[in-house]
Chain A
Amino acid sequence: MAKWLMRLYAFIAIHLVWYLLSYRLGSYLIPRPDVVWIYLFGLIFKGTIFMHVLFSVFRILAAMSVAFLIGVPIGLLSGVNKPIDKWLSPIIYLLFPIPKIAFLPIFMGLFGLGDLSKIILLFSVLIFQLILSARDGVKQIPIEYHHVVKTLKLSKLKKVMKLYLPSALPNVISSLRVGVGISMAVLFFGENYATTYGMGYFIMNNWTMVNYKGMFAGIVVLAIIAAGLLTGIDLLERKLCRWLTYEQRHIV
């Protein structure tokens, strides 16, 4: 079935449940979707929501890009080099599960109240899972592939570009995909401190003003941003991991 048709199905299904909940629990608690959409179109028409969207998207994309550029090389190195893995993995295993949100005051103290502290917070959430996914991607390389690069005497750079990085990419991209959900949750929290821009601020501001239409409009926008990021990651995967299309085509 066409992808757009599946998206339409998801859109309709979610709206049906939303209508049902609004009907059962009362529209003062859960406003009806049509009311929220009309309110959202009003916000778009007035242009008030764009800066919030822009700030949130900028923060999340900046954190993802930096985490990717730093996390993937560290993960590859750890996957290839046993001593590095031996010393690095225990540290990552300890730091990875810690709720990074707890460090927001420290980040704000160190990096200021502006965007940087929020980007660092998101970065700290994403970096560990990217390191681990890249490392595991390299560790899963079959021994025969290592024999090939050894007997063909490939240079270190060529080994990275032709073997390690492509082996890790599917894992890394899956990890980015999972990271979108976690990042949105952390961003929502982080944008409630020392800022007047961002979807987190927008949603909470409407909440405290008991403007549930506005709050729900913000949640809808957050969902659209997340869907946009996930679609972007899908496109990135299709571009960088073209071979997967052929490997998975016949799997049922």
Chain B
Amino acid sequence: MIKTQNLTIDYGNDNGMFDVDLMIQEGEIYALIGPSGCGKTTLLHALAGLLTYDNGIIEITNRQGSAAKLGLVQQKDALFPWLKVWENTVLGLSGDKHTKLPVAISQLKALEIDEYLEVYPAQLSGGQRQRVSIARTLVSEPDVLLLDEPTASLDAFSKEALQDLLLKLHFNKARTTLFVTHSIEEALYLADKILIMDKGRIKVTYDNPLQHSYGLRDEPEFYEQVKVLRTLMNRGGMSG
């Protein structure tokens, strides 16, 4: 569960985020959308413990109610170029190669990229690299997943493939997830609920009627919902 109250980071000149109240229940996927500079990544980084905040409360707990283990996937894959794919995957684990390699293989298999174990990141495509980056995050079994525009730097084909894979992974194990995206379509396709943020504040929390709309991507009701969300985003003069 992710809960925040009055969460504020003030960078000055109306930049940052202000009085953010958030409540994401166990196993839910939330999307955070909004124009550039609206505070999406600031909120995500604050939740990930990468930023100190000026005011407010953050509580992130697991099913048992104790402090949750967090996993972060960034827009840039940030794979270490000097480590092979399997070494990148198990970066967060301790132990020797004998114990870590099988874990890497199994996680990379789940992300359909296990044939590249022994290669360096420079030998992979953008989509493949992002899968390894997700594998690296999932290998430490996080309770809560924070994703910062994980598909933003990918081409359309790799983007859709990765979205399908993210849904598949969620169906296998439902983790509490918050992901930042610029794409209304991606938010509708993946999320249970969609938060629309503008000028550092969450303006709308939208219940996605097409929850996990696997296979609905080309259907008229999907486009209808895209339209609805776009209208909601445009209302209030959001700039982007």
Contact = CB atoms under 8 A, between A and B. Distances in A.
Partners in one complex: yes
Contacts of A246: 119-120, 122-123
Interface in A237-252: 241-243, 246-247
B92 interface: yes
B175 to A, nearest CB: 15
B213 interface: no
Contact of A145 (B72, B80, B121, B122): B80
Contacts of B120: 242-243, 246-247
B71 interface: yes
Interface string B32-75: 00000000000001001110000000000000000000111010
Contacts of B121: 243
A242 B92 CA distance: 22
Task: Tell me the dominant secondary structure on chain A's binding face.
Answer: helix
In this complex, the interface size class of chain B, counting residues with CB under 8 Å from chain A, is 20 to 34
Interface in A132-156: 142, 144-145, 147-148, 150-154
A163 interface: yes
A181 interface: no
B161 interface: no
Contact of B74 (A147, A153, A169): A147
A140 to B, nearest CB: 13
B133 to A, nearest CB: 9
Contacts of B137: 151
Contacts of B23: none
Nearest to B72: A151
A73 interface: no
A162 B119 CA distance: 17
Nearest to B142: A151
A163 B74 CA distance: 17
A144 B78 contact: yes
Nearest to A153: B92
Nearest to A247: B122
Interface of B: 45, 48-50, 70-72, 74, 76, 78, 80-83, 91-92, 119-123, 136-137, 140
Which 7 A-B residue pairs are closest in the complex by CB-CB distance?
A152-B92, A144-B78, A166-B82, A246-B122, A151-B72, A247-B122, A243-B120
